[in-house]
Structure 1
Amino acid sequence: MKFQKKKIVSLIAAVSMAFASSSVLAKNFKMAIGDAAGGTQWELGTTFSQLLDEKTNGQVKVDLFPNGQLGNEQDTVNNAAIGLLDFSILAINNVTPFSPTVGLLTMPYVIQSADEAKLLTQGEVGQELIDNTIRDAGVRIIGWAYSGFRVLTNSKRPVASPEDLKGLVIRVPRNEIMIASYQAWGVNPTPMAWSETFTGLQQGVVDGQDNPYITVYAMKFDEVQKYVTNIRYIFSLEPLIVSESVFQQQSPEMQANILAAGKEATEHSFTYLQDTEDKIRKDLESKGMVFTDPANGEKEWIEKVTKTVWPKFYTSIGGKEKLDETLKLLGR
């Protein structure tokens, strides 16, 4: 009888441990998304969430909070670094203040096509930047949204050359490389938080901003902007980050699932850009936006920033040789 009782107690303990184990597995993560639903950030986030749900047989859910509900994009890096937030998708320029070498991917006119963006983010360069970001910022890049080139929009007039920018107040993120680029073109831009940008454009605090077509579309900027200039100075990359402390708390199996979901979601994002960018441009045209190509093949825009901006940031991105290696990798 005593032996039987011990067996029952052991069985109850085993069942309790198994139940506890399954309870630990069942989890809801939180993901901050800077943009509104409908953009490439949202597409990457929803795809990642679906993939992780599939890979864990429905045991793990990712709750998405778009449009800056969990704070501005730089705040989400801080919160992820200290383990208060699980995931965030944000513009790469908002990671750069925490891990300056990531600024390599925001150097104007380094990336000149979507294929080049994919080559850099998914190759050795991208892996080095991931390692640096873990070291510097306490967050791990596990995926990328490919959003296309940041085009310039404004509410006043067509812009074809840097000279046409004079008198316009342009919003930029609080990013030194982007600020320096506009200064090289002869204007002093206005740094403004992303959450304040639509209102700033609507109220005339700023006249213009730059972002990819899909972001302009998702944020309904066509309601407050009329003119688009197809500059191609920065290819917009939006990393999906996970808190490194949260990542390290996961089992090896869960870590593998997170990394695999991030990789697959990244591939989907690239395909999504190819499939939707032209359609979105046509839609913006149908809404009344007027498109202008830069004069002389963008030559003046390129010369001004490569001569004055690149040298200012050699040190922060890891040295001139790092930029030279990257350009060589790209065949230039």
Structure 2
Amino acid sequence: MGLALLLLSASAHAATSNPFDWSSVPETDDQITMRLAHSLNMEWSSQTVAIKRFAELVAIYSNNRIKPEIFPGSQLGGEKEMLQQARQGVIQVTIPATNNMAQLAPSLNVLLLPYLTQSTEESNFLLDEITPVLVPRVIEEAGVRIVGWENTGWRNFFYNAPDPIRSPADLAPLRMRVPPNAIMLGTYRAWGASPTPIAWNELYSALQQGVVEGGDNPITDILGMKFDEVISRVTRLHYTILTHPIVVSEHWFQSLPQDLQEVVLRAGRETTEYVRWWQPLDEARWWMMAEEAGLQVDFIEDESEWRERAQSTWPDYYDLIGEDGADLVKVATDIVEKYDSKNNQ
């Protein structure tokens, strides 16, 4: 009986979570608070995974000298507002969508050029190579420093229609929701479509009421936001990938001693690596769920017409990127060509 009670007690103790983790360690007098804010409140999102991983690594590597506090679900405002708060040092970390951050940091528009990259590996290589070029520019433009990246996946068409989208002609009749970014709106117009800017939090009801027939997002967002309840089809393509830079307040970053600056940079690098390992595995699960949900999933086998039309618009956006927009685009395309030459030998 004594042994049984001992084993039962040990089993119950093992099932009890550790009372101290990175989010609940004891506070100390000289502890630095790091407020992290982001727009989503869904555990399934890769932004949530990224921000939690970053917070955990900063807490661990700083040996509890930096204490993270996470504010999800737009508690502190929309992504633009959170970026402004980060610039002022009110919050220390946020993770906006690249297309939203480009409103305050125009240099990031270079990453939104349609068909700049056409594979996840190519996109990762571009981000690694171009980030050192972008960091000082973004600090000047938005007052924040990019320390890492999250990748949600390629933006796929999701929609209600009797037939699948396979060519731009199939897209043209549909009213599609597009984020309010000039490059993304212009890409749809190049395909002959009429894009409709609608706020993300209004999209479900807009689909339900037929205000729009569809939009484009990674499969995790399509299912995670339950759009499968109000749409019937998904078409996969590779015109742009949804990424979120992990950014820290430059004012706060410069206030840290050098050893803690290195902690923040290390946590950003390792979070990027973690998400790149985790995201494809997670996305595969979501595609299986899409089939189980009864969505019709189609592929565009030849994207050449889509690519040619979209890339023809690039010169229209050089001024949006900056006074040297054409030069920065050349930097990006040189990096992509470098990747292609290394991997096509």
Q: Same fold (TM over 0.5)?
A: yes
Paired residue secondary structure (2:320): coil
Could you tell me which residue of structure 2 aligns to residue 197 of structure 1? 203
Could you tell me which residue of structure 2 aligns to residue 142 of structure 1? 147
CA distance in structure 2 between the partners assigned to 1:189 and 1:148 by the alignment: 21
CA contact (8 A) 1:72 1:194 kept: no
Aligned CA RMSD, in angstroms, stands at 2.0
Deviates more, 1:272-281 or 1:285-294: 272-281
User: What is the CA-CA distance between 1:279 and the residue it aligns to?
Assistant: 2.1
CA distance in structure 1 between the partners assigned to 2:227 and 2:286 by the alignment: 13
Are residues 1:260 and 2:266 paired? yes
Structure-2 change in CA distance of 1:261 and 1:209 (3 Å): same
Structure-2 change in CA distance of 1:99 and 1:47 (3 Å): same
Q: In structure 2, what residue type is equivalent to 1:138?
A: G
Q: In structure 2, what residue type is equivalent to 1:115?
A: E
Paired residue secondary structure (1:173): coil
Are residues 1:213 and 2:232 paired? no
Structure-2 change in CA distance of 1:68 and 1:194 (3 Å): farther
Paired residue secondary structure (1:314): helix
CA contact (8 A) 2:76 2:82 kept: yes
Could you tell me which residue of structure 2 aligns to residue 46 of structure 1? 52
Are residues 1:114 and 2:115 paired? no
Q: In structure 2, what residue type is equivalent to 1:316?
A: L
Could you tell me which residue of structure 2 aligns to residue 8 of structure 1? none
TM-score (norm 1): 0.86
CA distance in structure 2 between the partners assigned to 1:73 and 1:34 by the alignment: 10
Structure-2 change in CA distance of 1:223 and 1:208 (3 Å): same
Could you tell me which residue of structure 2 aligns to residue 6 of structure 1? none
TM-score (norm 2): 0.83
Paired residue secondary structure (1:315): helix
CA distance in structure 2 between the partners assigned to 1:232 and 1:269 by the alignment: 20
Deviates more, 1:105-114 or 1:238-247: 238-247
User: What is the CA-CA distance between 1:300 and the residue it aligns to?
Assistant: 1.5
Deviations 1:305-325 (A, max 9, x none): 111x21101233333343234
Could you tell me which residue of structure 1 aligns to residue 84 of structure 2? 78
Deviates more, 1:105-114 or 1:31-40: 31-40
Paired residue secondary structure (1:267): helix
Paired residue secondary structure (2:302): helix
**2:33 corresponds to which of 24, 27, 31:** 27
Q: In structure 1, what residue type is equivalent to 2:157?
A: L
Paired residue secondary structure (1:23): coil
Are residues 1:275 and 2:281 paired? yes
Could you tell me which residue of structure 2 aligns to residue 299 of structure 1? 304
Gaps of 5+ in 2: 1-26, 341-345
CA contact (8 A) 1:247 1:255 kept: yes
Could you tell me which residue of structure 2 aligns to residue 311 of structure 1? 315
CA distance in structure 2 between the partners assigned to 1:169 and 1:138 by the alignment: 36
User: What is the CA-CA distance between 1:41 and the residue it aligns to?
Assistant: 0.6
1:172-191 paired onto structure 2 within 5 Å: 172-191=178-197
Could you tell me which residue of structure 2 aligns to residue 14 of structure 1? none
Q: In structure 1, what residue type is equivalent to 2:310?
A: V
Runs of at least 4 residues off by over 6 Å: none
CA distance in structure 2 between the partners assigned to 1:253 and 1:214 by the alignment: 37
CA distance in structure 1 between the partners assigned to 2:57 and 2:39 by the alignment: 17
CA distance in structure 1 between the partners assigned to 2:334 and 2:114 by the alignment: 16
Paired residue secondary structure (2:223): helix
Structure-2 change in CA distance of 1:75 and 1:112 (3 Å): same
User: What is the CA-CA distance between 1:185 and the residue it aligns to?
Assistant: 1.0
User: What is the CA-CA distance between 1:26 and the residue it aligns to?
Assistant: 4.6
Deviations 1:197-251 (A, max 9, x none): 2333233322211111222233222222221111210011111111212222222
CA contact (8 A) 1:153 1:227 kept: yes
Gaps of 5+ in 1: 1-20
CA distance in structure 1 between the partners assigned to 2:265 and 2:109 by the alignment: 23
Percent pairwise identity: 33
User: What is the CA-CA distance between 1:59 and the residue it aligns to?
Assistant: 4.2
CA contact (8 A) 1:121 1:127 kept: no
Structure-2 change in CA distance of 1:135 and 1:28 (3 Å): closer
Q: In structure 2, what residue type is equivalent to 1:113?
A: S
Deviations 1:79-125 (A, max 9, x none): 212222221112100111112121111100011111112112112x1
CA contact (8 A) 1:31 1:62 kept: no
CA contact (8 A) 2:34 2:68 kept: yes
